[in-house]
């Protein structure tokens, strides 16, 4: 990233999310103020239940905040109707989940097509799969692929629409270290090649070393933010 004033992609102001279970109120997010910049790779770090996933869901338009405000560039996401939120996800956001969330009845290629079918300017599914190194596994069903391969299909699916933002919730959480590194390499590559703003949630502290910025969560709040002066390549990370 250059040193000139970075362009802001996301801005949140006092975002709060409360879950009500019975008589108990749980504050998943308790007033988060955050800015994310174009092209950066940010890692959200923190223990389970610290609010990382909740924030990611709100940024990705999967969930509404209980209080506070959220902007995507100049658009305020806070109170836009469901239909507009769907449009926003369809056009701008790519998701990668811990458990891949592939549709078991569709092949790798078809899982990617699920997204390219509804996107305004997608890349061909084959190209997306080639980018994640699965050019030769395109017609396999999820049940015929390893965990790492499935996660790479999920990434191909996320990037095939050429999203501006890639939101990854524990992308390596279900993978062993070697496979996890392969997946991180793909993410790194996408970020570098397309300048896609990439947010990665993890509770694996090692992964933070490949990020531009690390945002630390605790108890529904941001506890610290720091910028890595030198980033490691994924292959240098071990856990």
Binding residue (CB under 8 A) for another protein from 18, 106, 130, 218: 106
Residue 90 in the binding site for another protein (CB under 8 A) = yes
Site string for another protein, 151-170 (x = CB under 8 A): ------x---x---------
Give the total of residues touching another protein (CB under 8 A): 29
Residue 86 in the binding site for another protein (CB under 8 A) = yes
Residues linked to residue 16 through DSSP beta bridges, in sequence order: 30, 67
* Helix spans in the chain (H): 52-59, 82-92, 108-116, 125-131, 147-159, 177-194
Of 153 and 210, which has the nearer Cβ to another protein?
153
Calculate the CA dihedral of residues 58, 87, 153, 171 and round it to 10 degrees.
-10
Residue 123 in the binding site for another protein (CB under 8 A) = no
Site string for another protein, 42-61 (x = CB under 8 A): ---------------x--x-
Give min distance, CB of 159 to another protein, in A: 12
Q: Residues 120, 154: contact at Cβ < 8 Å? A: no
Give min distance, CB of 149 to another protein, in A: 18
> CA angle 97-227-211, nearest 5°?
30
C-alpha pair distances (Å), 145 with each of 8, 22, 142: 38, 41, 5
Give min distance, CB of 161 to another protein, in A: 8
Spatial strand order of the sheet with 24-37 comes to 24-37, 8-21, 67-72, 75-76
| Residues within the interface to another protein (CB under 8 A) | 57, 60, 62-63, 82-83, 86-87, 89-91, 93, 95, 97, 99, 101, 103, 105-106, 110-111, 113-115, 117-119, 157, 161
């Amino acid at each position: 990233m250059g040193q000139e004033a970075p362009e802001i992609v996301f801005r949140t102001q006092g975002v709060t999310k409360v879950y009500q279970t019975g008589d108990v109120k749980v504050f998943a997010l308790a007033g988060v103020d955050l800015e994310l910049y174009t092209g950066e790779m940010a890692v959200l770090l923190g223990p389970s239940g610290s609010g990382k996933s909740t924030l990611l869901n709100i940024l990705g338009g999967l969930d509404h905040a209980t209080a506070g405000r959220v902007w995507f560039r100049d658009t305020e996401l806070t109170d836009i109707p469901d239909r507009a939120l769907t449009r926003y996800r369809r056009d701008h956001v790519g998701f990668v989940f811990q458990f891949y969330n592939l549709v078991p009845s569709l092949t790798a290629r078809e899982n990617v097509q699920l997204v390219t079918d509804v996107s305004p300017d997608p890349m061909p599914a084959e190209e997306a799969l080639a980018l994640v190194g699965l050019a030769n596994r395109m017609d396999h069903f999820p049940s015929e692929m390893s965990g790492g391969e499935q996660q790479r299909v999920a990434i191909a699916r996320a990037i095939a629409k050429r999203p501006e933002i890639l939101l990854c919730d524990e992308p390596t959480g279900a993978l062993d270290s070697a496979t996890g590194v392969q997946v991180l390499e793909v993410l790194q590559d996408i970020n570098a090649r397309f300048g896609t703003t990439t947010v990665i949630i993890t509770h694996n502290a090692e992964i933070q070393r490949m990020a531009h910025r690390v945002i630390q969560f605790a108890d529904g709040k941001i506890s610290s933010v720091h910028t890595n002066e030198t980033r490691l390549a994924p292959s240098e990370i071990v856990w």
